[in-house]
Amino acid sequence: MNRHEGGGEAVIEYRDSNIRVIRPGRFVRCAATGEAIPLEELKYWSVERQEAYVSPDAVLQRLGLPRPGQAG
């Protein structure tokens, strides 16, 4: 079965350099923004937190850190 089969949200195990699909789907949700991230576009995640992020800014937002160029 192709990991993109199934219409909805995938369940993923996030590993150090790759992911393991537990339940197939087309997307995962960003832990910071709630935005759907198509699996083929997934680039950012936390192994420790087992969360996906849509962008580096979303990672900083989730961690409560200022983005570059913002006063902290």
Burial of 28 (0-12, 13-18, 19+ CB in 10 A): buried
- pTM above the 0.85 mark? no
Domain regions of the chain by residue span: 11-63
Task: Give 11-61 pLDDT, tens digit per residue.
Answer: 999 999 999 999 999 999 999 999 999 999 999 999 999 999 999 999 999
Q: Contact at 8 Å (CB) between 18 and 10?
A: no
